[in-house]
Amino acid sequence: MGTVTVQELDSVVIRFAGDSGDGMQLTGERFGNVSGILGNDIATFPDFPAEIRAPAGTTYGVSAYQVQIADYDVTTPGDTLDVLVAMNPAALKVHLPDVVRGGIVIVNTDGFTQHNLDRAGYTSNPLEDGTLQGYRVYRIPMTTLTLEAVKEVEGIGKKEAERSKNFFALGVVSWLFGRNPEVTEEWIRQKFRSSPAVMEANLKAFRAGYHYGETAEIFEAVYRVKPARLEPGLYRNITGNQAMALGLVAAAHQARLTLYYASYPITPASDLLHELARLKNFGVKTFQAEDEIAAAGAALGASYGGALGVTGTSGPGLDLKQETIGLAVMLELPLVVIDNQRGGPSTGLPTKSEQTDLLTALFGRHGEAPLPVIAAYSPAHCFWAALEAVRIALKYRTPLILLSDGYIANASEPFRIPSLDELPEIAVSFASEPNRDGEFWPYLRDPETLARPWVLPGTPGLEHRVGGLEKDERGRVSYDFANHDRMVKTRAEKVRRIARDIPPARLDADGGAELLVVSWGSTWGSVAAAVRRLRERGVRMAWTHLVHLNPLPPNLGEVVKSFPKVVVPENNLGQLLKVIRAEYLVDAKGVNSVEGRPFRASDLEEAFLEVLGERAAEGAR
Amino acid sequence: MGTVTVQELDSVVIRFAGDSGDGMQLTGERFGNVSGILGNDIATFPDFPAEIRAPAGTTYGVSAYQVQIADYDVTTPGDTLDVLVAMNPAALKVHLPDVVRGGIVIVNTDGFTQHNLDRAGYTSNPLEDGTLQGYRVYRIPMTTLTLEAVKEVEGIGKKEAERSKNFFALGVVSWLFGRNPEVTEEWIRQKFRSSPAVMEANLKAFRAGYHYGETAEIFEAVYRVKPARLEPGLYRNITGNQAMALGLVAAAHQARLTLYYASYPITPASDLLHELARLKNFGVKTFQAEDEIAAAGAALGASYGGALGVTGTSGPGLDLKQETIGLAVMLELPLVVIDNQRGGPSTGLPTKSEQTDLLTALFGRHGEAPLPVIAAYSPAHCFWAALEAVRIALKYRTPLILLSDGYIANASEPFRIPSLDELPEIAVSFASEPNRDGEFWPYLRDPETLARPWVLPGTPGLEHRVGGLEKDERGRVSYDFANHDRMVKTRAEKVRRIARDIPPARLDADGGAELLVVSWGSTWGSVAAAVRRLRERGVRMAWTHLVHLNPLPPNLGEVVKSFPKVVVPENNLGQLLKVIRAEYLVDAKGVNSVEGRPFRASDLEEAFLEVLGERAAEGAR
Amino acid sequence: MADQVTKPAVQLSRKDFASEVEPRWCPGCGDYPILAAVQSVLPELGIPRENFVFVSGIGCSSRFPYYMNTYGVHGIHGRAPTLATGIATARPDLQVWVATGDGDALSIGGNHFIHAMRRNVNIRIILFNNRIYGLTKGQYSPTSELGKITKSSPFGVIDRPFNPVSLALGAEATFVARTVDFDRQHMTEVLRRAAHHKGTAFVEVLQNCVVFNEGAYDFLTPRAGGLAYQIRLEHGKPVRFGPKGEKGIVIRGGRAEVVDVEEVGEENLYVHDETLEDPSVHFALSRLTPDGAGPTALGVFRAVRKPTYDELMHSQIAAAQEKLGPGDLERLLRSGETWKVE
Amino acid sequence: MADQVTKPAVQLSRKDFASEVEPRWCPGCGDYPILAAVQSVLPELGIPRENFVFVSGIGCSSRFPYYMNTYGVHGIHGRAPTLATGIATARPDLQVWVATGDGDALSIGGNHFIHAMRRNVNIRIILFNNRIYGLTKGQYSPTSELGKITKSSPFGVIDRPFNPVSLALGAEATFVARTVDFDRQHMTEVLRRAAHHKGTAFVEVLQNCVVFNEGAYDFLTPRAGGLAYQIRLEHGKPVRFGPKGEKGIVIRGGRAEVVDVEEVGEENLYVHDETLEDPSVHFALSRLTPDGAGPTALGVFRAVRKPTYDELMHSQIAAAQEKLGPGDLERLLRSGETWKVE
Ligand SMILES: Cc1ncc(C[n+]2csc(CCOP(=O)(O)OP(=O)(O)O)c2C)c(N)n1
Ligand SMILES: Cc1ncc(C[n+]2csc(CCOP(=O)(O)OP(=O)(O)O)c2C)c(N)n1
Ligand code: SF4
Ligand code: SF4
Ligand SMILES: [Mg+2]
Ligand SMILES: [Mg+2]
């Protein structure tokens, strides 16, 4: 390796970028997975256009995948790039601004044809005109080298051969960061086992890239990121959607119920349907409905039938489901509604992420129709959030909205696989007997939880009717003034009482902290990083991250009132902020960005300092 | 008239109650109208079952209509009854509890058959068993007397003849309260002119009732309520739905636009469609859509085409429209959405009234989709609220939700008919020229209002595309982070700026008042009565009633902070309360009833005293 | 898949299916005889009472479940088929019925209606077609005739009506029938057939709304001499009608035509075949009813056996379990690339 | 009612209809030729460019309006017909087109689709039927074949598909046609016919999605020898097809059947009549396509002139104004019983 030096880093951020058809998602995901397997902590961020395959070479057709690998527990994919792999001019144009000065830029020079330069809107070639000054640039004719490497593979035409160039790029980067090539090679063998020629081509391209790094002597240094110290256990990388799907299956298993997932496809929730549709041998029933209303209706019908009814969607679909969710409030049946929030309003930015559905989750139904709302905060947490959602919905016979978002749905991180006995108990019992003087009263409640009995149709003697009209305890339609008032208040009280049954808000506070950060959902990662960095800078910080958004943890009032300043960072215009202010009358401030992507930790750092005011900011220097 | 004395009253509350088929709605309405015409102020409250014609004689089939007539400006139909007209045992059973001790109960003894007594669940006859002790009871065989009176009318069978008995009842009560019979007789002649036999029968029945009062000598007293001192002008009685329909027509007239009303029938909004469908000679276009989504879509399409697009509904329909309203937020086109709130959640109590849709009006859409919300507060105010809604929606090119409710939609009161020059100017201009360097940029905004230009399709040279995806000023789809953040914040700012353009909150405060009441919507009447009564009792009160709920009037913060105590009475679980607390961080308290009907003024009176605490309560004694 | 009639036959009577709640329809409403007919068919089926579920939307007709002493859900407007689909696919051991109105099924619920038809879920849908919105007091519906004056069409309806049978056939229905509220026997027969059908069974009942659309079907009632217009479809029989059976139906040039039997000869009449794979003839029969009154085909138009949605769903599950064994959660969690951290 | 083509004829070319935005469909997508065909038909119509409005829902196909240099609204999923109905009834002087996908129109938008058909609003609906959800990356759609493996049906689709032409006919459509994305000339002719139809015109275009459903219509393409399966419907002509016209269609027993012309004789073939009042034959023709590949009728199935929704709406308004005079707001406000307070 001659003069190549080895540099130790605690973390590195790499982004792979190219055309939608260049396979960057696969490459980035692969690099992340390998790094996970090799013991790093990782956080990833896929970012792709709303178009399926936007015209080649255009800036809006660029698809990118970002990975942060670290020797500590990272919580974000990183604010800025240490390494950019750009397969064409458009990718360079879009993503170069994010590379740190002095960072590494690896370009596929074959992609820099005049046509592609024009497409990207470059008037001169950035590889030659000084654009890349100040970066460490590696120019590699990846397409040529891939074709060369693949040429002896039989049954692969030139076009197909070219397609392997992402594996060449992966090979180069794998070498640069000392990623053991065998893991990826084995994976390629598995993944493409049904088309041996493609497998062969990809293997050859990958190896060629790896060896290119080793032999081309263009790199002055290679980098090493040590394994992170994670909680011992068995791990896998997991996206939020995968974790959510597994969480639902696990919850149904714990509750001994059939999982019934009804959905209408929508980005970024469709993968939940895809994941679950494959699990037929688990008895999972999936139903692709004609629209979101039908999906909610079928899930609710399934719950009525005694299954675990779940329906997943994103914002526009949530709007449509609300009337049916309101019916579920009235029927008092379990129903888990998953909302993977995306950029709104309306169709907005469908492949981007934000946190703008909290208020509609809380209040977006006519009438007084309260329900519990919880939010997942990271890809792996989706697993646990799903279990908690199911637990509450089943126990309290209530629809519940579980919020995730486009970012954590598609991003991935290592997930410590729990053993089955780490999973919560979820006990369900169905009514089998009359409950009042030989009669069955469907709205006679459990005095503790206020939940009504759940009956399996088919149970003799308990035949009864439920419906959206107001009822009395006996289940009869009632237009009585006082009954309605009481029922409205009882349904609200039932939801309020869930507060007794959830963990208190966890406060992570330095003694003497002046500023409390209150966050929820996917901002968790950026807030964690920002808080850590501020602490490193000597600022005392307090932080609480909420999973339960309705009801709020019972100690939250006390927590928010214990700090002179409270800030609520959100990727919306201040939705939790409104709730906190109304609930506790504290003058909390919002930090709000609605850019369709998570906060940069550094932006939060600055924003928190600003809230703290000069004094604190100075203290930090 | 022998020994009959004449008693002067300042107000009287009368309720007519009978079977769904007994015509009580018509009778009550008629009595109200006559009283209005005779110069009283009136407030009415129709209350009917959800069933069309529930089985005769059942308690749930009882239909009632309440009228308060007064010599001052009444604002509620009254808490308790001075007079109850009960056509059958069920009506008596349901409504007797509301009659004040010593009040008048007029019963149709012919209705008290054994069958009907059984139906109503009476085990003994209340006319005989002492149930009515303490009331002034008048037993009249109305059916018999009606049949007698009508017998010579040709072409009227016994069944039809019986149907006239409500006019007999009306005659009796008209006599009792000295209502000039000619007004009603003239009205009967007009109303039934297409079927002379029915007209004749009703006239005869009415006169028989009137003369019965005069001659039967069972009444010891007759009552007189003097005309009220109302603002001079020409008056008519009007329900909220009628006023709303007229307001929309007037607004379209002022704006010189075609009114396009698209709706799907739903109680209590259907009458808007019925009213407007008749006005074809005004060029009003009505479209009965296949569902609420289609209604909202068609109204929005009409607005896109340059009409005044309006869509009306009630809660369940609002849920369904929200996705389309979100599209309107993005398209930035005018769209007026009327929500006549009814008892929820779900189908709830469809013929009852409550105020439970405020939060979903404000927040019930995915993404950041802010829009202005205003609320009508009385039947006549619906006219003015419609004009204000249209003014704002057109000027700011925004969807707007106009809240009314089942109570004011169906209730009536005298409406001073404005002359045309009292109507607000509503100027609309359509873009006709490129607005930026010879190009047309559809999202280039008015710097003042932030409204975008509205273009009539068909305008040459301004062809452009709008849609639900995020756009830049130029109207191009943009996935740019910063553009989205800016657009989200600009749309919010546009709505916020409307605050500059609305009247300040009107404060009606006694010097030294300790308690501020903040109210909105149809509670206005009960709050007005409660505040008046408390003042009469010597309590100093402050009150502000909000029409604009988003944005809130700019001075509201100052107002709510000027009083030690703030109370927000609502027919919900505290929706405006949440907004006020979040916005101004004042520890406002709620007074909440969700009974499907307006507050009783007396309940509010007590509740306000309670908030004021013993001290104030004592002061009042 | 559990079968719906495997439980030991139980002796039930009509009364067993009447709930404790007294129907709240208007006196004389056509919904009463439909209720009575359903209550009299169910005891025949040998299915325990607790295995029936009645689902509905919103409307006068949708109050139906409250009056049935079975399991029941009074849903929201237009969405009954969605709830029923969830129940029927989650619980194939139940027999699921939907009660719906012309507004409920064809206006707001049109999408779920056509999708239920094509999916062939194991549910039975009874459409109470009174050609009006009853519960909201008399607006026109998607089956109201052109020109009809109603509260929302004071100058006459301008929407061309749906023909529910044609619509169902165009949406790939496997069972389609029509009956009338005033003929208890015919109704009972048709409902019985629907009860036994596997897959989505659609029954349109022409129903009289005495308050808002009184007499809409007088042209078919015996008392108004309407028997002459009733064309009874019976499988395997030539289609004849008229007081003396003097009229008949031929299929000519793809259309169903009314003919004089004497003129064309009985042997040339169309012999009804419900089971034709191709629904074209059934469609042609549905077109006999002109927009308003006229000769109207009644009975079962179409009844073909296709795999039901729930059968297919459950056979996929069974096949997967056969092939892969029942799901093992522990293995599932550990699937994919894993690594150990010590 | 203002007419759509009264403005002086303008000379426009295809290019005038191309917007400044470059289409973002996948290379090779069948949406490109449809765009080209529409852009080439519009200039023929003599309608000024500014009088066209293109409306769409959500999907790959629904990006269509962005690429047309006319007025355009990219709406929300499934709701394009509702927006279009509002525009067309508010502004009868505009020519309104809807671009929609099989998911957009038939899944989430199914209800608006069938109601647009029956109402006969003056809009033209182009259904881009690629039998798949393109934009959401490959789930099955309501026109996907039974058994098809997609992302959301890893074990095969169990929903029986709609036949869009049958569905439209079952919903009382007045104009129904089908064409293919690979035959520019046929597409152009059919679209031209749709442009001239008064009322709701429905055109199904069989469209290839190269990424998620490549080759779905290969059975019809010339390069795959599919011409033999193309049955071209032409008004007034006997229906023949096959490489040498050796096959033909007869209508027999209400069904459309494929026959050898030689065997039955040309004179016995079905002579296509788009204008039949009764849609039964048109329906029968729509059933020729079996669920998967097979002889498929292309062209205009049905074209009948009925009053359009907007014509009726405007004639009611005109009649009311004729009778009552134009509305007088002052009088309206003062109508009913009034009284004076001094
Ligand atoms: C979402 C929603 N929209 C509208 C309504 C009001 N609504 C209740 S029933 C009904 C129509 C009833 O007509 P139909 O289905 O024909 O039943 P019928 O009463 O005639 O039996 C309507 C429009 C509602 N309850 N919910
Ligand atoms: C309310 C709502 N639900 C779901 C989606 C997601 N979605 C967008 S397009 C689409 C289907 C696209 O299929 P199709 O209409 O056939 O159009 P294609 O992309 O195939 O042209 C779906 C499910 C959405 N945008 N909005
Ligand atoms: S309104 Fe009509 S449909 Fe409804 S209950 Fe009365 S008669 Fe029956
Ligand atoms: S995904 Fe299919 S339909 Fe969509 S643009 Fe690509 S090829 Fe066309
Ligand atoms: Mg009906
Ligand atoms: Mg498609």
Residue A406 to residues A274, A413, A547, Cα–Cα distance (Å) = 16, 15, 17
Name all chains with 3 or more CB-CB pairs below 8 Å to chain C: A, B, D
Residues linked to residue C56 through DSSP beta bridges, in sequence order: C74, C99
Token digits for B202?
């009703």
- Tens-digit pLDDT profile for residues A426-473: 999 999 999 999 999 999 999 999 999 999 999 999 999 999 999 999
Contact D249, D259 (CB under 8 A): yes
Residue of chain A whose alpha carbon sits nearest to that of D142: A290
User: Which ligand approaches the C-alpha of residue A342 most closely?
Assistant: 2
List C-alpha distances in Å: A294 to C112, C231, C285, D57: 7, 36, 31, 19
CA distances from D225 to B1, D217, D219 (A): 103, 11, 7
Q: Is A118 on the interface with D (CB under 8 A)?
A: no
Chain D residues lying within 8 Å of C173, measured CB to CB = none
- Nearest-atom index, ligand 1, CA of C102: 16
Instruction: Tell whether the model's pLDDT for residue D7 goes beyond 60.
Output: no
**Is the model's pLDDT at B602 over the cut of 90?**
yes
Partners of D79 on chain B (C-beta within 8 Å) are 293-294, 297, 324, 327
A161-210 pLDDT per residue, tens:
999 999 999 999 999 999 989 999 999 999 999 999 999 999 999 999 99
- DSSP for D23-66, written as a single string: P-SPTT-THHHHHHHHHHHGGGGT--GGGEEEEE-SSSGGGGGG
E strand or H helix that includes residue D18: none
Check C329 against A457: CB less than 8 A apart. Answer: no
Give tens-digit pLDDT for D246-296.
999 999 999 999 999 999 999 999 999 999 999 999 999 999 976 668 899
User: Which tops the pLDDT comparison, D225 or C335?
Assistant: C335
CA distances B471 to B334, B369, B444, B479, D141, Å, are 18, 15, 11, 8, 29
Once rounded to an integer, what is the mean pLDDT over residues A487-493? 98
Residue-wise pLDDT tens digits, B447-488 = 999 999 999 999 999 999 999 999 999 999 999 999 999 999
Look-up of token digits 């990809």: A202
pLDDT for residue D315 is more than 60? yes
Question: C117-126: per-residue pLDDT in tens?
Answer: 999 999 999 9
CB contacts of C108 in chain B (<8 Å) are: 264, 290-292
CA B196, CA A21: separation in Å to the nearest integer? Answer: 80
Q: Say whether D338 and B463 touch across the interface (CB within 8 A).
A: no
Measured between CB atoms, does D152 come within 8 Å of chain C? no
Going by C-beta distance under 8 Å and a sequence separation of 6 or more, which residues neighbour residue B185? Answer: B203, B206, B207
Helix (H) or strand (E) holding B60: none
Q: Is the CB of B315 under 6 A from ligand 1?
A: no
Sheet strands side by side (includes C247-252):
C240-241, C247-252, C255-260
Percentage of residues in chain C with pLDDT exceeding 70? 96
Q: How far is the CA of B50 from the centre of ligand 1 (A)?
A: 12
Which atom of ligand 2 is nearest to B323's Cα? Answer: 1
Q: How many of the other CB atoms lie within 10 Å of CB of B553?
A: 19
Q: Which residues of B touch A583 (CB under 8 A)?
A: 581
Nearest-Cα residue of chain B relative to residue A405: B367
| Alpha-carbon dihedral sign for residues A409, A414, A417, A422 | negative
Out of B314, B330, B360, name the one closest to residue A346 (CB).
B330
Instruction: Name all residues whose Cβ lies below 6 A of ligand 2.
Output: A 264-266, 292, 316-317, 320, 347; D 58-61, 77, 101-104, 128, 130, 132-136, 141
CA of residue D83 to ligand 5 center, whole Å: 26
Answer whether B342's CB lies under 8 Å from B267's CB: yes
pLDDT at residue D8 tops 80? no
Contact residues, chain B, for C23 at CB < 8 Å: 55
Residue position matching structure tokens 């004694």: B621
Distance between first and last Cα of chain D:
46
What's the whole-model pTM score? Answer: 0.96
Helix (H) or strand (E) holding A316: helix A315-331
Ligand 6 centroid to Cα of residue D138, in Å, is: 9
Helix (H) or strand (E) holding B161: helix B158-163
State CA B260 to chain mean position distance: 22
Rounded to the nearest angstrom, the distance between the alpha carbon of A278 and the centre of ligand 2 is 22
Please tell me the distance between residue D209's alpha carbon and the centre of ligand 2 in angstroms.
14
Q: How far is CA C9 from the centre of its chain?
A: 25
Most B CBs within 10 Å, among C31, C60, C77, to test the B interface: C77
Q: Name the residue of chain D whose CA is nearest to A290's CA.
A: D107
For residues C73-82, give the mean pLDDT. Answer: 98
CA B146 to CA B130: how far, in whole Å? 27
Residue A535's φ and ψ, nearest 5 degrees, are -60, -40
The pLDDT score that the predictor gives to residue C224 is: 83
3-class DSSP state of B371: coil
C54 lines ligand 3 (CB under 6 A): no
Decide if D159 and A270 are in contact by the 8 Å CB cutoff.
no
Return mean pLDDT, chain B: 95
pLDDT at D10: 67
What is the pLDDT at residue A618? 44
Round to whole Å and give the CA distance between D170 and C164: 9
The pLDDT, as a whole number, for residue D291 is 62
Q: Is C84 in the pocket of ligand 3 (CB under 6 A)?
A: no
At C291 the pLDDT is 62
The residue among B311, B252, B286 whose CA lies nearest residue C155 is B286
Q: Report the pLDDT value the prediction gives residue B50, as an integer from 0 to 100.
A: 79
Which of B227, B463, B469 is closest, CB to CB, to D70?
B463
Q: Is the pLDDT of residue B615 over 90?
A: no
* Mean per-residue pLDDT, A94-98: 95
Mean pLDDT along residues A266-273: 98
* pLDDT at residue number D12: 92
Highest mean pLDDT among A195-199, A355-359, B61-65: A355-359
Burial class (CB in 10 A: 0-12, 13-18, 19+), B209: buried
What is the bridge-based pairing of β-strands B136-140 and B62-70?
unpaired
Cross-strand pairs, C53:
C71, C96
Residue D275 touches partner C, C-beta closer than 8 Å: no
A290-339, pLDDT tens digit by residue?
999 999 999 999 999 999 999 999 999 999 999 999 999 999 999 999 99
Beta bridge partners of B6: B222
Task: Decide if B281 touches C, using CB distance below 8 A.
Answer: no
CA–CA distances in Å: residue A557 to residues A493, A553, A566, A584, B310: 18, 8, 12, 6, 43
Instruction: Find out whether C12 and C47 touch, Cβ atoms under 8 Å.
Output: no
Question: What does the pLDDT read at residue B191?
Answer: 92
Q: Which chains touch B (3 or more CB pairs under 8 A)?
A: A, C, D
- What are the pLDDT digits (tens) for A282-295? 999 999 999 999 99
Indicate the range of A612-621, B101-110, C15-24 predicted with least confidence.
Answer: A612-621
Looking up tokens 């007797």 gives B96
d(CA D274, CA A38) in angstroms, rounded, equals: 69
Q: Report how far ligand 6's centroid is from the alpha carbon of D212 (Å).
A: 10
The DSSP 8-state label assigned to residue D325 in this structure reads -
Name the residue among D70, D82, D320 with its Cβ closest to that of B298.
Answer: D82
> A232 vs C342: CB contact, 8 Å cut-off?
yes
CA distance D196 to D174: 13
Residue D289: its pLDDT value, please? 77
Residue B301 C-alpha, separation from nearest chain D C-alpha, in angstroms: 4
C341–A300 CB contact, under 8 Å: no
Q: What pLDDT is attached to residue B618?
A: 44
Q: Tokens 């607790």 sit at which residue?
A: C50
Q: Judge: B366–A341 Cβ closer than 8 Å, yes or no.
A: yes
Contact indicator for C76, C57 with CB cutoff of 8 Å: yes
Return d(Cα C318, Cα A283) in angstroms, integer. Answer: 8
Q: Cβ contacts (< 8 Å) between D159 and chain C: which residues? A: 118-119, 309
Q: Is C113 within 8 Å of C81 (Cβ atoms)?
A: yes
Identify the band that residue B621 occupies on the pLDDT scale cut at 50, 70 and 90: very low
Pairing state between β C95-101 and C123-129: parallel
The number of the ligand nearest the C-alpha atom of B295 reads 1
- How far apart CA D100 and CA D126 sit, in angstroms, is 6
Cβ contact, residue pair D136, A51, below 8 Å = no
Average pLDDT, chain D: 95
> Which of the four pLDDT bands, split at 50, 70 and 90, describes residue C10?
low
Chain-wide mean pLDDT for chain A?
95
Q: Which residue has the tokens 């009844």?
A: C303
Q: What is the pLDDT of residues D146-155, one digit of tens each?
A: 999 999 999 9
What the block records as the tokens of B412 is: 């009536």
Residue D278, exposed/middle/buried by CB under 10 A (0-12, 13-18, 19+)?
A: middle
The verdict on C238 touching D (C-beta cutoff 8 Å) is no
- Neighboring chain D residues of C256 at a CB cutoff of 8 Å: 254, 280
Above 50 in pLDDT, residue A590? yes
Q: What pLDDT is stored for residue B535 in this prediction?
A: 97
Question: How close D108 gets to chain A, by Cα (Å)?
Answer: 5
Question: How many CB pairs lie under 8 A apart between chains A and B?
Answer: 230
Q: Is the predicted pLDDT of residue B612 greater than 50, yes or no?
A: yes
Q: What is the pLDDT of residue A2?
A: 53
| pLDDT tens-digit map of B8-60 | 999 999 999 999 889 999 999 999 999 999 999 999 999 888 788 888 899 98
What is the average per-residue pLDDT within D200-208? 98
The confidence band for D66, taking pLDDT boundaries of 50, 70 and 90, is very high
User: How far, in Å, is the centroid of ligand 3 from the Cα of D33?
Assistant: 53
Interval B190-219 mean pLDDT? 92
Q: Is B264 in the pocket of ligand 1 (CB under 6 A)?
A: yes
pLDDT of residue D219: 93
Stretch A566-570: mean pLDDT = 98
Distance A57 CA to ligand 4 centre (A): 17
pLDDT tens for each residue of B93-122: 999 999 999 999 999 999 999 999 999 999
Q: Looking at the predicted structure, is the pLDDT value of residue D29 above 90?
A: yes
**What confidence tier does A616 reach under pLDDT thresholds 50, 70, 90?**
very low
pLDDT in tens, A505-549: 999 999 999 999 999 999 999 999 999 999 999 999 999 999 999
Distance from C-alpha of A384 to C-alpha of A376, rounded to nearest angstrom:
8
What is the distance, to the nearest Å, from the Cα of residue A113 to the centroid of all Cα atoms in its chain? 37
Hey, is B219 helix, strand or coil? Answer: coil
C26 lines ligand 3 (CB under 6 A): yes
DSSP letter string, C194-207:
HHH-SS-EEEEEE-
Pocket probe for ligand 2: among A264, A311, A321, the residue whose CB has the most ligand atoms within 8 Å is A264
B614 pLDDT higher than 90: no
pLDDT confidence tier of residue D4, bands split at 50, 70 and 90? low
For the stretch A3-41, pLDDT in tens is 788 999 999 999 999 998 899 999 999 999 999 999 999
Contact A52, A64 (CB under 8 A): no
Closest Cβ opposite residue B595 in set A365, A366, A484: A484
